[in-house]
Every structure is written in structure tokens, then in C-alpha cells.
Chain A
């Protein structure tokens, strides 16, 4: 009975990312070759260093976790046609809030409560920061791209100021460490996996959140309304759907996801806030979301891919500058966008 073009549409959606990744690898192989190195050797070393050792795998899993959440921070607003460039700022605010809460809690508080409070404060901080852009959009019609970019600068300024002038430990660039009970345990200490790597139980949280978003978006009445508001805002108005509310919620939820991503870094790895600790992962989230077509479950795979590139690039840095892997990332994204446009045009013909 499936004699309508939707099936081919689905297969195209699946093909595009694969094709983009393969092409990007081919192009990078060419670049590595021109740089005087054997691409096969480089890729081999890279895969051995990431999937071949439990430490390397742990590094990848740790990076992937933040990337999943940063990707969701971009993807959820994307569903209501908002481009959240501000995941970086939301991560910074979340990271700072988590570190401050963790450092200020009394040491006697039970671990589960401490972790819960720290995560909540990180998510609240991220959500509030994203909501600023949402309110500007709904109330005053300020373009969310511009608002979130500016909010990134402001977040950088606020955290930088607070750190330098108020909360940094003397002669360091980080805050006081969080209390021991607020630390999210590493896989190493709980299950013995990923020896000594920063991979921690936040990964389970991130997977749960992705699954939850998947269910809410595609199985719930709320998601039905939200996707409708994104696909055809005018029809949504006629159907009695409050598109402005969905804008606000999508931004807040996205910001909360970014905050949770920050919790992975602060509570699971560093245990304090440090200048520049988010390191542009919020921007990488844009790439993660785009590659996955803003689909919560595909974001897990897409984040894995970028996690491998990010850590893998570091491991072969001795042979080839890790900038090569930034090139792969960027080419992949450009190709995804170009191929999607091409696919749409082919379908129309």
C-alpha cells in the first residue's frame, strides 16, 4: 500500500548524512595525503586510540555526552523554527551555576540530594538564559539568532567577571571545588568501565533525556502541537495552538538541556568552574543537531561521530595537526546542508 513518495523521502533523509560523512572523509584523506601523511595510517591510529582502548572509549563517551545535550539544546528549538546559536552561553551559565551550587552546599548533605540540586541549578540557569532570547522573540520580535549570539557574549562576560573578581581561588582561574557528595560518579568507580577516563553516569542521563524528547516530540499531544507550530505556524493559530508559548517552552527546554550538558563537565569531570571550560562545545552542538536532522535519537549517533573526531584528532596530533578534523567536521555539515537542498530539489522534479 505504500505507493506514495514518503518512503523515498525517508530513505533520502537517512542517506544524506551517511553520504556527507563519507565524502568528508574522502576529502580529508586527500588533505592528509597532500600534507605528506598516509591517510590510512592516520585513520587506523585514530580508531585504535578511540575504540581500541577503554580509556579512549571513555574519552569519546564523555565528549559525546556533552555533545548529545548541546545538540538537543539546538534541536528542540529547531522544531519550532528557532535557530538557537546560544547553546554555548547556556552551557557557560549552567556550568557556573552547577559549580557555585556544588561549592556552597553544606558537606553533610546526602549525595543524591546534592547531585539533584546541582543538576537542577545548572538546568535552571541554562533554561533562564535561553528564555531571555525566547521572550525577546515573542514579546518584541527580536530575531533569536542575533539575540542568542549576543547572549553568548554576555554570558561570557558575566561568568568571566564573577570568576575573576569574586569566586576564583587565589592565583588560579577556577572556583572552589564542589563538595564530594555532589560529584557524579565516573563509570570507572561504579562499574569499572572506561578506566580512569572522565566518562561518568551523566551519559545515562543524556541518553534518557534524548529518549524522553523523542517520546514527547513524536508520541505526546504536546509534541503534536509543537511540531505543528513549527511546520505551519498560521495553521497552528487556526487550530487553537499557542505558538508563542511553544516558542518559549522550546527555548527553555533547549537551554535546560545545555545546562545538563554543563553538569556533565562540572559534576562529572572537573568538579569546579574554570575559565573557557566549555570550549565551544555549544557551537559543536549546532553541527550535531544539523547532522541528525534535529532528530533526538539520531543526535546520539551524530554526537558519537563528533566525539570520535574530537578526541581522535587529539590522539593523532603528533602526526597531523588536529585542525584536519575540524575541517572534516565543517565539511560534513556543509555537505549535509547542500545534499538536503539537492535532495529536496530532486524530489520536486
Chain B
């Protein structure tokens, strides 16, 4: 068997950010090759390079031994590459057959469509690979699993020999997933090459022949799936690098601040995202929630910050010092002494066009100490901005005039942290991925400030997919899996196991996958 795709020293830079660096990879013909890694590890960028949507900054790509350089997906499709995107590229108002032939109509522009011939071709493919679907049906009337089958048939219709699947199971039910895996195997058995992108390790072990692990834009390991273990892959994914050195003095937890009892959360489409989740956080402790993304973390945060989407059903209770948070608005929750640093800070925590000072005020603009008349007390605001800027080492020249968007990511992050940690009478701090997309220098400041807040008696809820960060900062650790806390490590366990972080990471990894 030959090599279907060979990448040599592929790098891709966006501005100064390296999404992929020096990637070399060989995908054998007639195999299922899985690419695993956390969000932001560079998997999508790599596949977009193969599919011609991005051009590599440097490096060489060979398809079946021929060196190629695609400038558009069109050329990649011509070379026999196909891709099933996570969000399907179908026109809901057209029929299955019409969708499949779209862009490959096999007749002149003004000639009638050869629908009969095409339907026959489609049915032949469908029979060969067990992809039962009615060519006449409207795509809008199909289930998600059926729509995915249409996408696969689209690739077969174009005679794609190399098929890329981007997180194909993210939208499927377990039964549909099983069915998809059967299809993938039959495609492989008939000589197709499949590149499977996922972050679910069970799936990799179930269906792939070879696994490559990506972390921070690099491939950190490639191995046959038959010899790989889940914990080994998890560790490669998360990274082996040394723990960040944070001095984490022994905590002295006080009263219970946040108490979540049997919390449940169902989306409007009755999909259950949080199930019977219970935890308590005391003053002066950091409760770390470790878990693979998409296991109910976002929904938990939405509930705690009063932003559950309309139509979702919440059961159980979430009490802050005995007062329920459920059904309250963000402004009320903030007023009760809760600070929240959302994961997507650029979209949710700051306003790029507002000045640095105005952003230091954002969400706290209802506090009377900043008020004067109908507006704000500019002197108080200036003084506050100045003290925050020196306390948090934010590099910015004139906070009252400089738009926040002119600051670096790390500095924007510090602006948010400064604002939220300084909330008067703060008793609970909710942090989601506090150091995602932040450079090493800023990480240190941020971690020290979180520990400082904890020591001063704030209860901290830390949600992070970086296990290193969870282990370094947390007082107790809860492992979240499918919407509930599957295992909890006590204070003593965490202090003890922190001595051997690699083993601890492995152990946590077992509880979250």
C-alpha cells in the first residue's frame, strides 16, 4: 500500500501566531488515520491545508506521490480529496440527489439535469456502502445522521479517494455513531483513505488504524491504534511539560459559599446536558472542574450566570450563601458578589471599541462609587484605572483614550481579571479557561492573582480543560463527565498527588473520558 497523503515540514502562521509548526505526517492508503488533540491544537488548520482552504506558509504536500499546492478546495476535490464538515454544507430546500450533484451536474449549463442517470449512480453508491437514503427526499426532512450520509454520498459521487471527517460524531446519537463507524470501515475496506478528526478518545480506539496526537500546533506522537491506550493518548494530548510554578500555600477553607444540589439542565430540544450535578465550594478554596469540553461545563456556567437560553429546563438548586441563583439576571448575580470571567472573553467580557477605562468599568458600571450625576466620576474612574494598570502590570499608554482592541490578548485578559477580582464584596469567582490564548508571562500574573483572591477568602470555581492548570491551582478537583461530577478528589488527595503530577494527570484522565 502506498502513502495517500504525505506532509513534510508543513507550517501555517496567522500573523505572528503559529497554528501549525513543522508538521510531517504520512497517511497510508486504505487506512483510517485519526488526528486527535484539544480544541486549538491545530487539527482544523491542518485539514484545511490538505483540503486547499488554507495555503501553508512553508512545507510540502504530496498526494499519492505527486507534489501538489492547492490554492482552492476545487483543486483538492479534483485531486480526489473530499471533506465532510462538522456543519454540513447542504441546501435544505433541494432534494438529496440535487444536493449530491451540485457543482458536478454532468451536463451543460442550460441543459436539463440528467436526474435519472444521477439517481441511479447515487443508489449504486448507497447500496455498495450501506448508506440507505431516498434521492428524491428533501434534505430539510432528513435527520442529522441521514444528512451526514448525504455528505458522504456527495464525496463518493465525486470519486473522492481521500475523505476527511471533521468531528463527525459531535452531532450524532450513539446509535448513529455506531452506524457511521460501520460505514467508515466499509469505505476503508474498499480502499478509501480516511482522515478522522476528533477529540473523543474512545472513538479513536474503536475505529482508527493509526492515531496522531496534536498539541499546540505540533504532532507530538503517531502510533498504531491497536497499541495505544486511552490514558497514554490523554497524556499526550494534554502535554507532559512541567507544571507551572505557582506557590500554592495550604488553604484554610471557611463556610460554604456556593452549593449546587442535583442540578439538571435540558436544552430546548430536550437534550440533557447537565445531570444530577452536586458540589459545594467553601470560602478560601478553589474548586477545579476537570473535563473534556462539551461535557456540560458551558451549561453549568450559563446557569450560574443567569444566561440559560430561552426554553431550557433547569432542575435542582444552585445556592449562593443560601440564596438561589437560578432565575436571576446577570446584573443581580453580580450584585450578590459574584464575578464571572467567561471563556470567550473577546466576545463576552469586553467591548473592543470602548477605551481601556471604560472596559475596566464594564459590568461594574452600576456601582455607586463610580457615579456622578447622570454619568461617571471621571476622577474616581481614572484613579481606579491607574491602580488596576499598575497592580496587574497592564501595558497601555493612556487608559482613558486608548481603545481596548489595541491591547494584546494577554493584556485584555488582565483587564478583565483586574475588573472582576476587584468587585467589592466579592465572594465567588467563576473562571472559565482563564489562561486560554494567553502568553506565558501573563499566565503567571493571572495564576498568582487567582491564588491571592483565594487566600483572601474568595470561593473560586475554576473550569479548565488544561489539567496542569487544574492541578496547580485547585484545592479540590471534580471530574465532570456527561454532565455530572463523576469523581471528586479531596483536599488531602490533591495536596498529596500534586507531588507526582504526571501520574495525577493520568488518573484524572481516566475519570473524564
Contacts and interface: CB of A to CB of B under 8 A. Distances in A.
A92 to B, nearest CB: 33
B371 interface: yes
Interface string A217-247: 0011110110010011011011111100000
Contacts of A239: 330, 349, 362-363, 365
A233 to B, nearest CB: 10
A219 B363 contact: no
Contacts of A5: 406
A349 interface: no
Interface stretch (B110-118, B173-181, B351-359, B455-463): B351-359
Contact of A235 (B332, B350, B361): B350
Contact of B349 (A4, A231, A235): A235
A1 interface: yes
B423 to A, nearest CB: 12
B66 interface: no
A232 B307 contact: no
B120 interface: no
Interface in A3-50: 3-6
Contact of B340 (A222, A225, A238): A238
A6 B340 contact: no
A71 to B, nearest CB: 22
Interface residues of A, number: 25
A34 B244 CA distance: 75
Contacts of A238: 305, 307, 330, 340, 342, 348-349, 363
A228 B398 contact: no
B390 interface: no
Contact of A224 (B329, B340, B376): B376
Given A228-B354, A235-B349, A237-B307, A221 B406 contact: no
Interface in B328-370: 329-334, 340, 342, 347-354, 358, 361-363, 365-366
Given A238-B348, A240-B329, A4 B376 contact: no
A237 B306 CA distance: 10
B374 A220 contact: yes
Contacts of B397: 1-4
Interface in B301-317: 305, 307
Interface residues of B, number: 34
B375 A231 contact: no
A231 B354 contact: yes
A81 to B, nearest CB: 13
Contacts of B333: 240
B334 A240 contact: yes
B382 to A, nearest CB: 14
B351 A1 contact: no
B251 interface: no
Given A1-B397, A1-B398, A220-B375, A235 B347 contact: yes
A232 B329 contact: no
A240 B406 contact: no
A119 B334 CA distance: 41
A240 B375 contact: no
Given A1-B398, A3-B397, A5-B406, A240 B331 contact: yes
A216 B374 CA distance: 8
Contacts of B305: 238
Contact of B402 (A4, A235, A237, A242): A4
Nearest to B350: A235
Nearest to B358: A224
Q: Which of B307, B349, B362, B401 counts the most chain A CB atoms within 10 A?
A: B362
B403 A4 contact: yes
A141 to B, nearest CB: 12
A222 B371 CA distance: 12
Contacts of B406: 4-6
A3 B254 CA distance: 48
A1 B333 CA distance: 38
B376 A221 contact: yes
B377 to A, nearest CB: 11
A147 B324 CA distance: 40
Contacts of B376: 221, 224
B380 to A, nearest CB: 13
A235 B375 CA distance: 21
Given A238-B307, A238-B363, A6 B403 contact: yes
A1 B399 CA distance: 11
Contact of A2 (B330, B363, B374, B398): B398
Nearest to B347: A234
A240 B371 contact: no
A224 B371 CA distance: 12
Nearest to B307: A237
Interface of A: 1-6, 215-216, 219-222, 224-225, 228, 231-232, 234-235, 237-242
21 contacts: A1-B398, A4-B402, A4-B406, A5-B406, A6-B401, A6-B403, A6-B406, A216-B374, A219-B375, A221-B371, A224-B361, A224-B365, A228-B362, A234-B348, A235-B350, A235-B362, A237-B348, A238-B363, A239-B365, A240-B329, A240-B363
Given A235-B362, A237-B307, A238-B330, 6 more contacts: A4-B403, A4-B406, A221-B374, A224-B358, A235-B347, A237-B330
Lowest 10 A-B CB distances belong to which pairs? A240-B331, A239-B363, A240-B330, A220-B374, A238-B348, A219-B375, A4-B406, A1-B397, A1-B398, A232-B351
